[in-house]
Structure 1
Amino acid sequence: MKDTPSSEAQATGLESLAVGGDALVGMATLGKTAAALGLVIAIILVCTALLKRWGPQRRAAGGHLQIVGSTVLGSRERLVIVEVEGTWLILGVGGGQINKLHELAAPERPSEPEIAELQGERFATRFARALKHNAGLGGPGRGTS
């Protein structure tokens, strides 16, 4: 018997269906791989954020050393204030070395009621008071002449 055009068309249709099925399986696998990669990246970002927030950043050496503040001076230079057992050290950090610039007694920490009072006060009011104090315009503790 001879192949009829209808049986040839059926064979071509089955082959195209098999090729299309392979493409769908490949796309599904690619989608699953992309989703897994996205999940791993999301987990890394969440862990990084948690470490920045709760990681050991300010206390070291059994709680005897605390970084009070720091600022960038240049591309590789920083000014760092470190508190060590009630003494503030002002350090210049840069160029692979650390230099002690100044040493002074650490100021006393405010008591809890003062902190609660300042938290209830508006930022604009505190900022204006700090500007007056720094400019010598009659802020707290300074007399006017």
Structure 2
Amino acid sequence: MSDTPVRDTATGGLEAVSVGTDALVGMATLGKTAAALALVLVIIFAASALLKRLQLHRQPAGGRLRVISAAAVGPRERVVIVQVEERWLVLGVGGGQVNKLHELEAPPQEAAASSGAGFEAGDSFATRFAKALRHNAGLKERGKS
């Protein structure tokens, strides 16, 4: 009679170990799946950040239309100055409409580039920031007299 309870105990122990092993395998699979999902999300965010950075440095198609300035005059209304070739158009935008308010000759590029702290059209933010700091500190630009 002593042999029967030992077998039941041994069988019960093996079942407990196999159930625990199944739970560990399930947790390991869940962990691997979560890690793979996290990796895919990191790749998506990195790719979108890279694309945004590359979009900033690209010129618009054709390069003939450029927004010079915009100002809000109401919750959904704006006045926008747009350069089309050598003309500036002052446009009123709002309520699903665009109205031409005025038309001006575009100022020469040299005058616009030489005003302020000496910003140029192709300058990056870091370059403009450094020029503004030097301008505000009263220092001259390096390499220029």
Q: For the superposition of Structure 1 and Structure 2, which TM-score range results when normalised by the shorter chain?
A: 0.5 to 0.7
After superposition, the Cα gap between the structure-2 partners of 1:58 and 1:4, relative to the gap in structure 1 and judged at 3 Å, is same
Deviations along 1:15-70, whole A, 9 cap, x unmatched?
Answer: 11111111111111111211121122222222222222222787434111122233
Do 2:77 and 2:95's aligned partners in 1 also have CA atoms closer than 8 Å? yes
Task: Report the Cα distance in structure 2 between the residues aligned to 1:108 and 1:29, rounded to whole angstroms.
Answer: 66
Q: Structure 2: which 5+ residue stretches go unaligned?
A: 121-127, 138-145
Alignment coverage as a number of residue pairs: 124
TM-score, normalization by structure 1: 0.65
**What corresponds to 2:136 in structure 1?**
125
Displacement of 1:103 after TM fit?
2.2
Task: Report the Cα distance in structure 2 between the residues aligned to 1:71 and 1:123, rounded to whole angstroms.
Answer: 29
Do 2:92 and 2:98's aligned partners in 1 also have CA atoms closer than 8 Å? yes
Deviations along 1:57-98, whole A, 9 cap, x unmatched?
Answer: 874341111222334444433333221102222223222222
CA-atom RMSD, angstroms?
A: 3.2
TM-score, normalization by structure 2: 0.65
Task: Report the Cα distance in structure 2 between the residues aligned to 1:94 and 1:19, rounded to whole angstroms.
Answer: 66
Displacement of 1:105 after TM fit?
2.1
Q: Does 1:9 align with 2:9?
A: yes
After superposition, the Cα gap between the structure-2 partners of 1:32 and 1:61, relative to the gap in structure 1 and judged at 3 Å, is same
- Percent same amino acid at aligned positions? 53
Q: Structure 1: which 5+ residue stretches go unaligned?
A: 127-145
